[in-house]
Structure 1
């Protein structure tokens, strides 16, 4: 029988282990909790990460390295149907800030025409429901320039919406 104190210690160790990403590459971090779905003839890939985007950027050495790593990861996925790549790639973060306030961020990158349409539809239809606000002034947002079909990054103010709520909204936008 596990006593209350031992159970609390075990839960603490599991949480700390889940959040320890220091020894992992960006690819390993993305793979750690990656899910994929097919909808409307395209594929959605969504990685959940237990650290803020800023941590990942710092880990790989800067914005360009982070963006390049996410794009490479998405393009390398053979997600069924003999097609390489995804239509829509997302990274969802969950973490507590320095004051202990729970936060979420959502990074979304369309890598196909269908993904672009779905991303725009998702932003329009789910943006308010999820409380999506531009991440750092929209610094990673893109619309058809510099080899970026469509890309958005947000702070998700409605933190009660986890991947279990966000993924169905994304899949609905892909129909």
Structure 2
């Protein structure tokens, strides 16, 4: 079984894990940091805004069970692709929406899906999610992993604005 990797940033990584974690063909979803200039940053360092990192999720998946295009569909439905300066209540560069591609094929698929979303008319503002080459991904501290399972009440509070947006834009 050959696994592949995808990395997506879409605001608070706590809220990005569950939709991928529950999809078939997903081996693992890890919360972490990428896109910065410091090796092995801590949550506090990333939050300080001095490392250049973005909160993201690394997804290890079986492409025979779920395609990268299907992952992109899940991704778009979790984010506000018209907001370059954060997601929902989380503001700043560490929460910007980014698709980090692993190879040229992922880049082409991401660009095609972004163009299709822009042409769909679903959003009345430009799609500003960036598509960037993957750089080192650093797993977050253990207390951030599977946060939605460990802290369901706090997760629900943090996820409320995102959930309302998803329902408005994508329905049930």
TM range (shorter): 0.3 to 0.5
CA radius of gyration, larger in: 1
How does the TM-score come out when normalised to structure 2?
Answer: 0.33
Greater relative contact order (CA < 8 Å, ≥ 6 in sequence)? 2
Greater per-residue helix proportion? 1
The structure that is strand-richer by fraction is: 1
